[in-house]
Structure 1
Amino acid sequence: MSPSENGGNAVTPTSPGDERSAVATSADVAHLLGAELPGTRVPATGTAGEVSLRELAAAVARLVIYAYPAIGAPGREPITPDWTSIPGAFGCTAESCSFRDLASVIGDLGGAVCGLSTQPAAEQREAAQRLELTFPLLSDHAQTITGRLRLPTWSAGGQRLLKRFTIVASGPVIEHVFAPVPEPAAHAGEVAAWLREN
């Protein structure tokens, strides 16, 4: 049974011993290659309601889905006081802005971008508006997509968050996964280069 066919929503980290790291490794995401995006609809910014990854992928040659732990906001306390010292946790705003700045380049290469996290939809709406994002952020707060695809997660402040990685899908099929993502602010350029070469 492929991850997309798994009807269960149980979410377990793929790196049980790495609960204090937001860095997804290649081993964490190896099972995603060849898997199909689920049709599960979740809240998305820039839309009137909900959308699925499968729907987004059907509209473009390639869909770039960058998964991130959580975008902070001015005046909002971090999820945990040591957020900036946790490997891979810091950099979600910079990564989102880099994808915003290169969205047209990725579009010229036949792709489209979306962000995915377990943050509540209201927090994503605030971030999308403040950062002037030109693509949707999808809220898997109920962790349905996370469970179906067995996406790598970690814990912070009593919350289950996605690790940082990026999926490239051609139609409904995942054809490439970037992990680890060592420099979030430069990652969109890395994705654009891969699209150009492939």
Structure 2
Amino acid sequence: MAVFHLPGHPLPALTILQSTDRGEPEVDLFLLSLSRPILLCTFSYPTQVRNKRQEIDCSDSHPSSLQLLSFKSQIAALKSREPNLLVYGLSTYPEECQSYVHKKLGLPFPLLSDSKGTFSQQLELPSYEQDGVRLLERCVLLLREGQVTRVDYPLSDPSKAALRAEYMLQRDSGQE
């Protein structure tokens, strides 16, 4: 799926996403982006259903882990460029799967659950189906003032996603 439609695309308003952040368990990216820049990293993992429960294999070598871990290691550099920056991961997994990934990878930023697909479908984010489940392809979006301002897709080297996001922040602020 192409992402050419995303830059300038308004964010869905009044779309609440569940967060792994216990202090802020529900997030509206539209409202947050009106006051602060947001880097949103979409991701997915192979899943298996065991005993009617979805299980995720988030090994450290999986491309989505490499993407999320790149933001973990670069978060200080990103925030030094944009002190008010918020970073979130987004997938279509239910909250319990998000919490598992968050804890296993030790991420310093929350993961958001779009398990109903409302947010990602309204933005027409790149996705695919696996065993009847809609999963998001890996990409990074910069959100400002209620809209998508920049997109990095496809991520050919997910371990460099945060470095590329830093460049995206630089370009967006006109400091090239």
TM range (shorter): 0.7 to 0.9
TM-score by length of 2: 0.81
Residue 116 of structure 1 corresponds to 90
Q: Tell me the C-alpha RMSD between the 2 structures.
A: 2.0
- The 5 A counterparts of 1:20-169 are 28-39=2-13, 40-47=15-22, 48-60=24-36, 62-70=37-45, 76=55, 78=57, 90-110=62-82, 111-169=85-143
Q: Could you list the per-position Cα deviations for residues 77-96 of structure 1 after superposition, in whole angstroms to 9, with x for gaps in the alignment?
A: 659xxxxxxxxxx4111111
**Which is further off, 138-147 or 185-194?**
185-194
Q: Could you list the per-position Cα deviations for residues 14-72 of structure 1 after superposition, in whole angstroms to 9, with x for gaps in the alignment?
A: 4xxxxxxxxxxxxx111111111123001111135211112332342x21111112377
Using the TM superposition, give the Cα deviation of residue 194 of structure 1 relative to its aligned residue in structure 2, in angstroms.
2.5
Aligned identity (percent) is 27
Using the TM superposition, give the Cα deviation of residue 154 of structure 1 relative to its aligned residue in structure 2, in angstroms.
0.4
User: Which protein is richer in strand relative to its size?
Assistant: 2
Q: How many residues align?
A: 158
Secondary structure of the 2:5 match is: helix
Residue 8 of structure 1 corresponds to none
Using the TM superposition, give the Cα deviation of residue 157 of structure 1 relative to its aligned residue in structure 2, in angstroms.
2.5
Contact in 2 for aligned 1:106/1:112 (Cα 8 Å): no
C-alpha change, 1:65 and 1:106, in structure 2 (3 Å) is same
Using the TM superposition, give the Cα deviation of residue 192 of structure 1 relative to its aligned residue in structure 2, in angstroms.
1.0
Contact in 2 for aligned 1:70/1:119 (Cα 8 Å): no
Contact in 2 for aligned 1:71/1:127 (Cα 8 Å): no
Contact in 2 for aligned 1:68/1:163 (Cα 8 Å): yes
Contact in 1 for aligned 2:39/2:88 (Cα 8 Å): yes
* CA distance in structure 2 between the aligned counterparts of 1:163 and 1:97, rounded to whole angstroms: 17
C-alpha change, 1:129 and 1:71, in structure 2 (3 Å) is farther
Contact in 1 for aligned 2:46/2:56 (Cα 8 Å): no
Structure 1: 4+ residue segments shifted above 3 A: 76-79
Using the TM superposition, give the Cα deviation of residue 175 of structure 1 relative to its aligned residue in structure 2, in angstroms.
1.0
C-alpha change, 1:31 and 1:140, in structure 2 (3 Å) is same
Matched AA of 1:68: F
Q: Could you list the per-position Cα deviations for residues 165-189 of structure 1 after superposition, in whole angstroms to 9, with x for gaps in the alignment?
A: 1111122121111111101111111
Residue segments in structure 2 that go unaligned for 5+ positions in a row: 48-54
